[in-house]
Amino acid sequence: MKKTNRFLAIVALSGLFLFCDQFLKWYARTQPAKHFSFLHGYLGWQYFENPGIAFSLPFPQGILLIGTPILLLLLFVYWNKHAKKQGLLFSLALGFIIFGALSNYIDRVLFSFTTDYFLFFTAVINVADIMISLGALLLILEHRSENKKVEKAT
């Protein structure tokens, strides 16, 4: 697949996950009393308004509202510039991170909190959080893969 087509495919896939996350957030906000769990309460559905950042850590809203779009724009420019030179994991990772952060940013602007809905052990998370975490993991894997290539070459 051409690198330009791959880039567009990753944007489309990440955009689809963003759409799914926004739909599930909307559903959670319209059904806040709905709650269920299985596997002894480790997995399930639970509405939660998260005013903080990852793991509900407190963070000033003003900094988030101003800093997030700047960071997203810089990441997108970097991604667009380097995607053609980098591998699939790199592009997929940045796509997931950017679109996941964008989905949570939409919530912050509209509601002053992020809507979480998946009960996962003791945390309540959303698809955007999963995208960001998966993107970070893919970046680590890409970095390790690049290091192994350099080691083999020397």
For residue 47, pLDDT beyond 80: yes
pLDDT value at residue 97 = 92
Question: What are the domain boundaries of the chain?
Answer: 3-33+61-115+126-153
Question: 59 with 53: CB under 8 angstroms?
Answer: yes
pLDDT value at residue 55 = 64
| Of residues 84 and 10, more confidently modeled | 10
For residue 147, pLDDT beyond 80: no
Q: Which of 21, 107, 116, 142 is catalytic?
A: 116
Q: Which of 21, 107, 129, 142 is catalytic?
A: 129
- Per-residue tokens: 107: 């919530």
For 51-88, the pLDDT digits (tens) are 887 766 677 777 777 888 888 888 878 777 776 677 78
Average pLDDT over residues 6-25: 93
107 is catalytic: no
- What is the distance between the alpha carbons of residues 58 and 148, in angstroms, rounded to a whole number? 38
116 is catalytic: yes
**Residue with the two structure tokens 């979480």:** 116
- What is the distance between the alpha carbons of residues 59 and 80, in angstroms, rounded to a whole number? 29
